[in-house]
């Protein structure tokens, strides 16, 4: 078991942000300390939600308060996701610095959540550049989707070669490992979707069949499972395949049930028993 500080969005109904990641980490045996960056009634994809973004000062005070309890020394991981504002992203950076000061071996997975091809950028205008210029330098692991990968690096990703170049561009900023999600490339064909990872030990590509899945929060579950498996001692290739396989099985169950949200609790067996996926070692 490991202790993980999770700073990202939270919803009352549905499974995105903390409302997805916390359960996934707990299902793998980890304790999760949750701090919301925003608290909403539901994901905006279902219509205009009630709720609001948290003030960065409140995030700071929450982190300072648990730090005063001495618990950050026992943290093994930090996962950060949707921040909404530059101020909240700055607070995430300060939280990571505090956790690392208390325990230098703490692993920080930073998911730079700010947009996608079908939505464009859906956060404060300066946030993508803040991720690139500041938070990427401090993270141990970054998990952008293909849109975010291209936006941060300025590289047009239209092949496996350009995707790998963009990943290495982020790694040059600081993260030891970068994992690109929701990768659609000509080499994969129109019916498959990929996840690419590179760390100091090599590069891996995992592919699965594409699903017509409207459910939100899959990236949040994936990032949580990836970190959870790594904290459980798995190597990157194995952790990557397990995380992708679980999300694929979870989505399959949700699509089959025609559910508007991921069936995270009902289909939770997928979190511990992933589907088989195609894993290819690239180097």
Alpha-carbon distance 53 to 55, whole Å?
7
Q: Does the model's pTM come out above 0.95? A: yes
Question: Whose structure tokens read 């592919």?
Answer: 207
Model pLDDT for residues 100-122, shown as the tens digit of each residue:
999 999 999 999 999 999 999 99
The domains of the chain are located at 3-281
Q: Which residues pair with 193 in a beta bridge?
A: 208
User: Residue 21 has which token pair?
Assistant: 């990641």
What is the Cα–Cα distance from 205 to 159, expressed in whole angstroms? 13
- What would the two tokens of residue 238 be? 């194995």
Q: Which long-range contacts (CB under 8 A, 24 or more apart) does 118-126 make?
A: 121/151, 123/82, 123/83, 123/84, 123/85, 124/84, 124/85, 124/86, 126/86
pLDDT band at 128 (very low <50, low <70, confident <90, very high): very high
State the Cα–Cα distance between residues 179 and 243, nearest whole angstrom.
12
Place domain 3-281 in its CATH homologous superfamily.
Ribokinase (3.40.1190.20)
Give the confidence band of 146 by pLDDT, cuts at 50, 70, 90. Answer: very high
Specify burial of residue 66 (Cβ count, 10 A radius: 0-12, 13-18, 19+): middle
Average pLDDT for 224-253: 98
Cα-based distances in Å from 18 to 119, 197, 223: 21, 23, 11
Contact yes or no for 77/109 (Cβ under 8 A): yes
């Amino acid at each position: 078991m490991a202790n993980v500080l999770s700073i990202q969005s939270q919803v009352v109904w549905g499974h995105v942000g903390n409302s997805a990641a916390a359960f996934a980490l707990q299902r793998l045996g980890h304790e999760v300390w949750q701090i919301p960056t925003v608290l909403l009634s539901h994901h905006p994809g279902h219509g205009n939600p009630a709720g609001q973004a948290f003030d960065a000062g409140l995030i700071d005070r929450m982190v300072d308060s648990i730090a005063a309890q001495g618990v950050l020394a026992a943290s093994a991981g930090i996962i950060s996701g949707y921040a909404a504002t530059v101020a909240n992203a700055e607070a995430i950076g300060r939280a990571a610095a505090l956790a690392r000061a208390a325990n230098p071996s703490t692993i920080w997975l930073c998911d730079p959540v700010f947009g996608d091809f079908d939505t464009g950028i859906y956060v404060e205008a300066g946030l993508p550049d803040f991720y690139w210029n500041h938070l990427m330098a401090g993270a141990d692991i970054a998990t952008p989707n293909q849109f975010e990968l291209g936006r941060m690096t300025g590289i047009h990703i239209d092949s496996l070669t350009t995707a790998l170049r963009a990943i290495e561009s982020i790694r040059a900023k600081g993260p030891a490992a970068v994992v690109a999600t929701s990768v659609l490339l000509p080499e994969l064909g129109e019916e498959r979707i990929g996840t690419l990872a590179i760390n100091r030990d090599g590069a891996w590509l995992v592919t699965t069949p594409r699903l017509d899945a409207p459910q939100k929060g899959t990236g949040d579950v994936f990032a949580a499972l990836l970190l959870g498996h790594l904290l459980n001692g798995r190597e990157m290739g194995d952790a990557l395949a397990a995380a992708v396989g679980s999300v694929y099985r979870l989505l399959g169950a949700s699509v089959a049930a025609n559910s508007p949200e991921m069936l995270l609790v009902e289909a939770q067996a997928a979190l511990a028993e992933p589907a088989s996926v195609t894993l290819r070692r690239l180097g």
